[in-house]
């Protein structure tokens, strides 16, 4: 995995198991495995996999709140993009749920 060597001790590695099939080598990091592409596809659009991963990341790190992410999505997803707002919110929530199960 590309970023595994650069993680700090006790860092968090969120990996998309839909695309990565090998195990991390380090034992001093927290690994969260998310089948993001599979989840996004079940939600209706594989392109939402990035939102699934974002949800997992914010659940694991608490770097921002879900509400803050949702406000940003609402602000940016206007016009034709607005049709994908609910999908993206569901993807974030599903990523959060999957990460929560592993914490």
Listed in sequence order, the residues at least 6 apart from 26 whose beta carbon sits closer than 8 Å to its beta carbon are 4, 7, 13
102 — pLDDT class (breaks 50, 70, 90): very high
Residue pair 1/20 in contact (Cβ under 8 Å)? The answer is yes
* Cα Dmax for the chain: 46
For 38-50, the pLDDT digits (tens) are 999 999 999 999 9
7 — pLDDT class (breaks 50, 70, 90): very high
3-state DSSP of 28-84:
CCEEEEECHHHHHHHHCCHHHHHHHHHHHHHHHHCCCCHHHHHHHHHHHCCHHHHHH
pTM score, whole prediction = 0.94
Domains, the chain? 4-100 (3.40.920.10)
Four-residue CA torsion sign, 90, 82, 44, 15: negative
For 49-69, the pLDDT digits (tens) are 999 999 999 999 999 999 999
């Amino acid at each position: 995995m590309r970023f595994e060597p650069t993680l700090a001790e006790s860092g968090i590695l969120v990996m998309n198991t839909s695309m990565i099939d090998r195990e991390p080598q380090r034992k001093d990091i927290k690994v969260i495995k998310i089948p993001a592409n599979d989840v996004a596809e079940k939600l209706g659009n594989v392109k939402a996999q990035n939102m699934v991963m974002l949800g997992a990341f914010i659940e694991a790190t608490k770097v921002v709140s879900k509400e803050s992410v949702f406000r940003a999505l609402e602000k940016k997803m206007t016009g034709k993009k607005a049709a994908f707002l609910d999908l993206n919110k569901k993807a974030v929530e599903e990523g959060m749920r999957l990460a929560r199960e592993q914490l």
